[in-house]
Chain A
Amino acid sequence: MKGLSALVLLVSMVSIVNATPVDTYEFKSVDNQKRALSLAHSLRCPQCQNQNLIDSNSPVAQDLRLEVYQMVDEGKGDDEIVEFMTSRYGEFVLYKPRMEAKTYALWLGPVALLLFGGLIGFFFIRKQRIAEATNQELSTEEQEELDRLLKRDAK
């Protein structure tokens, strides 16, 4: 019984967390609504900086959210809407930066680091294997020397 009420509480809390600000905006179609919401989720609020347009309650975010909704309902494409946003607020509003000359380091850097690390690892291990393979055999002179030293210590 206790477990059940805890579960109910948990479920209700989860649904509160998932709540989005209620805008009294009526979309022309469910598809439009889906597209507009996912687009607004991918755009950063310029004022609060670490919230997307849906999560943020700032007036700027409200305006921009509404703008996105209207543009989707007018039948504008995603590219066009993103262009509208970046021409006013800069690349900053994109949570996912575009692939272009100044963001190559951002996109390709991790891959390059991984390759670099892998390469170092590869050579390091290979070098150790070679060293192991060559150093196993002692020459006769070395063996004699070793025996002599061991005998001396044993005495």
Chain B
Amino acid sequence: MKKLVLFIPLVVFLGMGVFLYKGLFLNPQQLDSALEGKPIPAFQLEVLEKSGETVTNETLKGKVGLLNVWATWCPSCKYEHPFLMTLARQKILPIYGINYRDDRPLAIRELSREGNPYAINIYDHDGRLGLDLGVYGAPESFLIDHKGIIRYRYAGPIDRNVWKDTLYPMVQQLQAEAAKDGAS
């Protein structure tokens, strides 16, 4: 019994070791979103290409979708863009763009030159929607389910690997949920 007491420091050390070792592999850039499980914040904004036409949070309901925050000033968004184009061609789910703190003519020109993967583009000029979504940098993407609930947030550019390993399995799961709800 007395011998066992001598092992307490070793146990404490190993416990802390495991804890700290795990900490080494956390990515500090990848913050948990406080909004997962919550509905898309209420908003009413103009469509990027058509001033005067408005989009609200209700517009985005009904389908599993990908909300993608982008801007012309964001280099990682340019990196991400070709993959979004591929994704849009596959027609797996609608991609909604949030044009974040951007210049309207510049953004429109960028899309007409590089291609437009977005089903709808929301013009968030003053970044209010971005603020309500807890966006801290672009690009960021949000997976929403058919009820308009945010289910997952991915910070950083989406590429083939991120899509294959993380997002696509979740999309399939959410679409299965949507199909079940539609059937019942």
The answer to whether A89 and B34 touch (CB under 8 A), given A46-B134, A59-B101, A60-B136, is yes
Bits for A60-72, please: 1 = Cβ < 8 Å to B, else 0: 1001100100000
Q: Write the residues of chain A forming the contact surface with B, with a CB cutoff of 8 angstroms.
A: 46-47, 49, 59-60, 63-64, 67, 86-92
Shortest beta-carbon distance, B100 to chain A, in Å?
A: 10
Range of interface residues on B (Cβ < 8 Å): 10 to 19
B132 within 8 A of A: yes
**Which 7 pairs across A and B sit closest by C-beta, in order of nearness?**
A46-B136, A88-B134, A90-B34, A47-B136, A89-B134, A60-B136, A47-B137
Is B159 part of the binding interface, using a Cβ–Cβ cutoff of 8 Å? no
Q: Nearest residue in A to B9 (C-beta to C-beta)?
A: A120
Measured between C-beta atoms, what is the minimum distance from B90 to chain A in Å? 32
Quick check: is B52 within 8 A (CB to CB) of the other chain?
A: no
Residues from chain A with a CB closer than 8 A to the CB of B101 are 59
The answer, yes or no, to whether B35 is at the interface (CB within 8 Å) is yes
B101 CB to nearest A CB, Å: 7
Closest-CB distance, A93 to chain B (whole angstroms) = 9
Q: Known contacts A63-B127, A88-B35, A89-B34; is A49 also within 8 Å of B28 by CB? A: yes
Known contacts A49-B28, A63-B127, A63-B131; A90/B33 CB under 8 A = yes
Minimal beta-carbon separation of A6 from chain B (angstroms): 40
List, sorted by A's number, 12 A–B pairs whose CB atoms are closer than 8 Å.
Answer: A46-B136, A47-B136, A59-B101, A59-B127, A87-B34, A88-B34, A88-B131, A89-B31, A89-B34, A89-B134, A90-B33, A92-B32
Task: Tell me the bound Cα distance from A47 to B156 in angstroms.
Answer: 12
- Taken residue by residue from 130 to 155, chain B's Cβ proximity to chain A (1 for < 8 Å, 0 otherwise) reads as 01111111000000000000000000
| Interchain nearest-CB distance for B151 vs A (Å) | 16
Contact status B34-A64, CB under 8 Å: no
Q: How far is the CA of A59 from the CA of B74 in the complex (A)?
A: 13
Chain A residues with Cβ under 8 A from B132's Cβ? 88
Contact at A90–B131, with CB atoms within 8 Å? no
- B137 near A60 (CB under 8 angstroms)? yes
The complex places the Cα of A91 from the Cα of B134 at a distance, in Å, of 12
Contacts of A47 in B (CB 8 A): 136-137
Contact indicator A90/B32 (Cβ below 8 Å): yes
In the complex, which residue of chain A has the Cβ closest to the Cβ of B127?
Answer: A63
Q: Which residues of B contact A92 (CB under 8 A)?
A: 31-32
A99–B100 Cα distance when bound, in Å, is 35
Asked if B131 and A64 sit within 8 Å, CB to CB, the answer is yes
Known: A47-B137, A60-B136, A63-B131. Contact between A86 and B28, CB under 8 A?
no
